[in-house]
Structure 1
Amino acid sequence: MLMSTGQEALWLAHRLAPESSAYNVVLAVRLRDRVDTVVLQQALTALVGRHELLRSRFPSTDEGPVRLLAGPENVRLDVREVPNTGEEMLFRLAQRAGEEPFRISESGAFRAVLLRRDIADAVLVTATHHLVSDATSQWLLVRDLFAEYGARTEYGPPVTPAAITPWNEQVRAERDFIASPRGQRAAAYWQGVCAGLKAAVLPIDRPRPPQHTLGGATHEMELDRATAERLRQTAADRGVTPFTWLLGTFQSALHRSGAGDGFLIGCPATTRFTPGTREAVGYYVNALPVAGRFTPASTLLDAVESAQQQLRTGMAYARYPVERLDSGTCGPLFRISCTLVAADRLPVAGLYEGPVCLGGLRAELCDVPQQEGQLDLTVEVLQGAHGFRAVLRYNTDLFDAATIERFGVTWRRLLGASLGNPGTRVADVVLVAQDDLDFLLALGSGAA
C-alpha cells in the first residue's frame, strides 16, 4: 500500500516524537440520549470498512515506511465508564482521550472512545493522526458514523456510500503529476515564490531548542458581529474574500511584530479535486507558500491584494507537494501557517453553532483543544454563519501566553485600521492604545 509525500513527512514527525499529540486531529461530540454501544460498534465497523486509511497501520521497514491494511473488525469502540464525573472533569477526560499517542506501527492511526457518564449522557471522542485525516475528514467520519448508527436504529434512511477513490490511486496520481510537465511547471512556480525568502519567525521569548519540540497551547480571539459584518462588506467591495483580508492583515501583523520585510508562511489547502476524493477520509492537504513583502510605502490594501492574488494563483499549483522543494535554506520552509475552516460548510451542518440531531441522538460539539505546537504558530480562522473566530496554537517552548495575546492585539488593530482606511500604510498604524501611549510618553518626559 502506498503513502503520499505529505504522509511520509507526517510519519517522520511521528517517528521523531511518538509520544506527542501535536498531530492528533480530534472531534468530540456530547450525546444526550442513550447510546446502544453494540449498534455503535456495528456502525464503526462499517465506517472503517469504507475508509481504508482508518484501518491502516504504518510500520517501518529497511526501505522506509509502509502502509498495511487490517480488517475493519479490528478497530474496536473503547467504552469507558465515568460515573459521577463533573462537567469540568468530563471535558478533561475527553481532551485526554484525544491526546493519547498513537502506536501507528502496531494499531494504526484512528480510535473512537465513548466516555459514558450516565445512561443518557456521554461524550464520543474520535481521534486520528493527521497522516490519515484532515479537518474535513474528521467531520466526514463523524457524519458517516452517525448515518450508519441512525440507519441501524431506524432513525435514518439506509446508507448509500459514495464512490471513493482508493488511496493507492490517489498517491499514484500525485506521483504522475509530479513527474509530468505540469508538475515541473508547478515546482518552478513555487521555487519562484520562495526565492530569496525564509520562513517567517516571530521574536521568541526563549532560545530555540536544538531539536524541534511540540509543546503547545491555544489562544482564541473572536470578532464581534459588527466587525465581522464590516469585514464581509469591505472585502466584497474590494472584490476579495474575507479570509484573504484577514490573511493580508495577519501578514502585516507579523511584519510589525518583528518578522521582517520579506518572509514565507504556509496556507494549507485542500487537494480534493475529483469526485472520488470529496467524500473520503484521508490526508487531502498541501500547504501553499505565501510570501509577505513589505516596504515603508506598503499599505494594508497592498498586503490584502497580494494575499488574494497569491492564493488565487497558487490554487492552480496546489497539487504539488511543497515538501519536495529544495528551500535553499538550512531551516524549514514554514514556521507559521494560517488556514481557513468554513464551519458553515462542514459536513455536519449546525454542529458548531449548537445542538443537532445525529443518528437520532441529541448531540453538541465538545470543543477540546488539539493540534497544539506543530509549528511556532498555527492559525485557524473559523468562518461561521454569524462571524469569525481565530484559533492561535503556539509552541510553548518558544512563546509565553502574553506574547501571543499581544500579537493578537496587534493583528486586531491592523484589521480595524484596514476596515477604516484600507489605504493606510502598514508602518503608520498605531499599535498602542492612546491612554497607554500618553502614559509611556509621560514616563519619557518625567511628567508622570
Structure 2
Amino acid sequence: MPLSAVQEALWAAYRIAPRSSAYNTVLRLRVRGGVDIDLLKRAVRAVQERHEQLRSLFTEAEGRPCRIPLEEPPGCFALQDLTGVGEDQLLTASQQACLAPFELEASGPLRVVLVRRSPHDSVLMIAVHHIVNDFVSRALIVRDLLAAYTDLAAGADPQLPPPTVSYADHVEQERRYVVSAAGQETAARWGRLLAGAVPAEFPLDRPRPAVRSYEGDTVQRQLPADLVSSLTRCAESVGVTPFAFVLAAFQALFHRWTGQDDFLVGVPATTRVGRRVSEVVGCFTNTFPVRARCHPGLTFDDLAAAADREVLRGLRDGRYPSALLSLPTGAGRDAGRAPLYHMALFMVDLEKMYRSVPRPPEGVMEGPSTHYAGLRVAMIDTPQQEGQMDLIIRLERGMTTISAAYSYSTDVFDRMSVEGFADGFERILRAVVRTPGVPVAEIPLTDADDLAELLELGISDGHPM
C-alpha cells in the first residue's frame, strides 16, 4: 500500500539513519500491582488488530516505499525481568528500551516492553515509530491498551471496535488532492510564498555534517506563572492567538541575534480533520513553512499580527504536503535537496489528549496514579524525538502553565548554546508582554544582571580598557 507524503519523508530519514532513535515516540508508564503478563500480551495484540498501521511492515517495491499490512500481528512485546534492581537501574533500563531502534521492514513500528523489578513494581514502555504516529495516535494507543487489559482482566473480550475509516483512506484523499486543480493552486500559492526565502539558521557551534547522525538532547524549561498569564492577556489585547504571540517572540529573537530579516521556520500542524479520523492511528502531521519579514521600524505587535496571518494561511493550505515543496533555485541552496527549515516551533495541549493517564506536573518525574484492573498506573516524563532538526521548540500548554522543550541536534549545537537561547527567549517574552508596541529593534536582549556583567568586562583595574 502507498505511503502519505510525510511517511515517505520519514522513510527516507529512516533509510539514512536506521539505527537512530530520533523518530521514536515513546511513553513510559509506572505500573504498581501484579501485572498479568499473558493478559498484557493479549491486550497488545488487540490494539494491533484494531489499528492496521501497528501491524504493518514497511519496505520498498519498484523503487517506491510502501506499507504491507499483516493479518497476523507481528510480535512486539517483551518482558525484561530485573528482579531486585534499584529505582535508578529500573528507570535507566526502561529509557534504554525507548531508545532502541526499530526495524520497520522486519518487526514493524510498535514495541512494548515491560521492565519488572518485582512482581508488583514495573515500568511499561510503549514505543511507536513516528511513521505511524502523532500525538493523538499515542493517546489512542495508551487508552486502547489499558481498556483492553481491563476488559480481559474482567473475563471479557476487548471491546475495541475497528475505526470506520483507515489511514489508507487519508493517503488516497491526499493523493487526489495533490493532483487536483485545487491542489495545484495551493502548490502555486506556496511557491509564491517561498520565492526568495531562506531557512532561519542560528550560528552553529559546528558545521553541519554531510550525513546527519540524528543524535540530540533536550533543554527543559517551565515559563513562570506570571509570564504565562501576562502572555495570554497580552495576546488577546493584540488580537492574536497565544501561539502566534510566542512565534513572533521567536522570530524577533532570531532577527535580533542574527540580523537575518527574511526567513522561514517550520510549524508542525495536524492534518487530522473531522470525527471520522479521530479514532485512526497514523501520522497526520504536516510541518508547513512560516515566513517572517522584518524591516526598520517594525513593532512587535505588527510582527505578531503578521505571524498570526501566516499561521492561518498555513493552516488553510496545510492539506498540501510540505514534503512536496522545495525552495526555488537560487534561494541559497539546491532546490529539493534540503529541508525548507532547520528549526520549528509548535504548541500542543497534552492535558486534553492524555486523559486516560494524567501527565506529570512540570519538574516532576512521575505523574498521579490512575487505577486500572487492580493496577496503579502513572506516566513517567520521558524526553524523546531529539535530533530531528537543528532545533525544535515544543510548547506544552496546560490550564495555567506553559512548559518548553528545546530539542536540538548535537551535531551542530552544544547544550550551553541552547540554554542561552532559552534564556533569551524567556527574556524577550517578558519584554514584549510589558510593551507589545515596542519596535523590534529596541527590544532589550539583556536583563540588568547580564548588562552589569557585560559592562564589567570592559573595565580593568578600575579603568576603562
Q: Which residue of 2 aligns with 1:384?
A: 398
1:243 corresponds to? 243
Kindly state the Cα deviation for residue 420 of structure 1 after the two structures are TM-superposed: 0.4
Letter in 2 for 1:136: V
> Structure 1 residues 180, 347: CA separation in 2 closer, same or farther (over 3 Å shift)?
farther
1:100-179 mapped onto 2 (5 Å cutoff): 100-154=100-154, 159-161=159-161, 163-179=163-179
Could you tell me which residue of structure 1 aligns to residue 449 of structure 2? Answer: 435
Contact 1:58 1:108 in 2 (8 A): yes
1:14 Cα deviation (Å)? Answer: 0.4
Q: Give 1:309's aligned residue.
A: 309
> Residue in 2 aligned with 1:344?
351
Give the aligned partner of residue 281 of structure 1.
281
Preserved CA contact (<8 Å) 1:23 1:371: yes
Judge conservation of contact 2:212–2:411 (CA < 8 Å) in 1.
Answer: no
Question: How far, CA to CA, are the matches of 1:442 and 1:344 in structure 2?
Answer: 45
Q: Distance in 2 between matches of 1:427 and 1:198?
A: 21
Q: Deviations over 1:7-43 (max 9, x none)?
A: 1111011001011111111111111222111111111
1:357 aligns with 2:370: yes
Residues of 2 paired with 1:425 and 1:43: CA distance? 57
* Local SS of the residue matching 1:263: strand
Q: Distance in 2 between matches of 1:394 and 1:46?
A: 36
State the match for 2:341 in structure 1. 334
Measured in 1, the distance between the counterparts of 2:440 and 2:415 equals 25
How many corresponding residue pairs?
Answer: 448
Structure 2 partner of 1:410: 424
State how far apart, in whole Å, the 2-side matches of 1:395 and 1:351 are.
Answer: 29
TM-score (norm 1): 0.95
Query: Take 1:195 and 1:445, find their aligned partners in 2: how far apart are those partners?
Result: 48
Letter in 1 for 2:326: D
- Once the two structures are TM-superposed, the CA of residue 390 in structure 1 deviates from its matched residue by 0.6
Match of 1:87 in 2: 87
The one-letter amino acid paired with 2:390 is D
Q: Given the superposition, is the C-alpha separation of residues 73 and 436 from structure 1 closer, same or farther in structure 2, using an over 3 Å criterion? A: closer
Instruction: Rate the CA distance shift 1:434–1:232 in 2: closer, same or farther, 3 A.
Output: same
Aligned to 2:296: 296
Tell me whether 1:373 sits opposite 2:387 in the alignment. yes
Superposed CA deviations along residues 356-383 of structure 1, whole A, max 9, x for unmatched, are 4253332211122211100000111100
Distance 1:372 1:140 in 2: 23
Q: Is the 8 A contact 2:134 2:284 kept in 1?
A: yes
Question: 2:364: which partner in 1?
Answer: none
Aligned-partner Cα distance in 2 for 1:73–1:273: 28
In the aligned structure 2, how far is the partner of 1:295 from the partner of 1:317?
26
- Residue ranges of structure 2 left out of the alignment (5+ in a row): 361-366
Shift of 1:193: 2.2
Name the aligned partner's letter for residue 148 of structure 1. Answer: A
Normalized against structure 2, the TM-score is what? 0.92
Query: Whole-Å Cα distance in 2 between the matches of residues 287 and 334 of structure 1?
Result: 9
| Greater mean deviation of Cα atoms: 433-442 or 132-141 | 433-442
Opposite residue 201 of structure 1, the aligned amino acid is E
Q: Which amino acid aligns with 1:258?
A: T
Root-mean-square deviation (CA, aligned residues, Å) is 1.9
CA shift, 1:259, in A, is: 6.4
The residue identity in structure 2 corresponding to 1:153 is A
List structure 1 runs of 4+ shifted beyond 6 angstroms.
Answer: 155-158
Match of 1:222 in 2: 222
CA distance in 2, matches of 1:334, 1:184: 22
Bigger shift: residues 149-158 or 434-443: 149-158
Q: In 2 relative to 1, CA 427–380 (structure 1 residues): closer, same or farther, beyond 3 Å?
A: same
CA 1:358–1:319: 2 relative to 1, 3 Å: farther
**CA deviation digits over 1:228-277, x for unaligned, max 9?**
11122222233322222111111212222216111111111111113221
Residues 373 and 394 in structure 1, CA contact (< 8 A), matched pair in contact too: yes
Amino acid at match of 1:403: S
CA gap of 1:350–1:225, structure 2 versus 1, over 3 A, is: farther
Looking at structure 2, the residues matched to 154 and 236 of structure 1 have their Cα atoms a distance apart, in angstroms, of 49
TM-aligned CA distance change 1:157 to 1:429, over 3 Å: farther
- Give, as a single letter, the amino acid of the residue that structure 1 aligns with 2:429: L
Aligned-residue offset at 1:162: 6.0
Asked if 2 retains the 8 angstrom alpha-carbon contact of 1:27 and 1:139, the reply is no
Q: Decide which of 434, 437, 452 is 1:420's aligned counterpart.
A: 434
Q: Distance in 1 between matches of 2:429 and 2:224?
A: 13
